[in-house]
Amino acid sequence: MGKELTILTDSDLVQEIKIGNRKAFSEIVKRHQKSLLRMSLRFVRDLDMAEDVVQESFIKAYEKLNAFEGRSTFKSWLFQIAVNTAKNKLRERKRLTTDIDSIQLAVGAVAETSLVHSALSQEIQEEIDKLPTKQRTALILRVYEDLSFKEIADIMECPYDTAKANYRHALIKLKDSFEKRSDLNMSESFGGFFSEVANYVEVE
């Protein structure tokens, strides 16, 4: 119980929690709450709802901790819970508003990966929002959270190749959508984002 928690891995913290060390769970929360909130915001586009998603996700994770067998990383397992919780929140909102089409992805003011620079704009957000759920999920996790395809596959509960295919199809649809927009110059308007799209699609 006297271990220095900050130097422990997530797996070690999970074992500490299982033997009754509640401080270990506080360390888990501290370690992952920011990334979980950031990801949740991209799904629900509402800070209050995103905070609810995060809180519920940690509660669910704590309650289900004995079911975590370590087949994936703890982070992937936690993100899986959060993604499913966010989807449930959106379904609840849809029942209340009967119109989910107006919900858009939240995009941070500061770019977090090489794919997303200041050139990321409202137009891209609107097109991403039109993607099928699985493709949108793969794109969010890959581009904004910089997760590996193995982690994405674990979170989406699908094979590695399926996760990669969903991401690729999302990129292709975005590229096609913007190529049809005569009012936009992709290279000038969106910089590195679409050059990465083009490179990925061509390589694949």
- For residues 31 and 87, give the distance between their C-alpha atoms in angstroms, rounded to a whole number: 23
Q: What is the pLDDT of residue 67?
A: 87
Cα dihedral sign for 103, 169, 150, 91? positive
Structure tokens at 6: 């900050």
CB 90 within 8 Å of CB 100: yes
Nearest 5°: phi and psi at 180?
-85, -10
**pLDDT by residue (tens digit) across 124-134?**
777 888 899 99
In the chain the domains, ranked by start, together with CATH numbers, are: 1-103 (1.10.1740.10), 107-204 (1.10.10.10)
Q: Give residue 61's Cα distance to chain centre.
A: 17
- For residues 174 and 128, give the distance between their C-alpha atoms in angstroms, rounded to a whole number: 7
Contacts 24+ apart (CB under 8 A), 105-113: 105/42, 105/43, 105/45, 105/129, 105/136, 105/140, 106/41, 106/42, 106/45, 106/50, 107/42, 107/144, 108/38, 108/144, 112/144, 112/146, 113/143, 113/144, 113/146
The one-character DSSP state at 180 is T
**pLDDT by residue (tens digit) across 83-99?**
999 989 888 877 665 44
Q: What is the pLDDT of residue 100?
A: 40
**pLDDT by residue (tens digit) across 92-124?**
877 665 444 444 444 443 334 444 443 445 667
CB 54 within 8 Å of CB 40: yes
Q: Cα dist. 101→23, 97, 126, 175, 198 in Å?
A: 41, 10, 10, 21, 28
Structure tokens at 162: 């399926």
Q: What is the pLDDT of residue 126?
A: 76
Its pTM stands at: 0.71
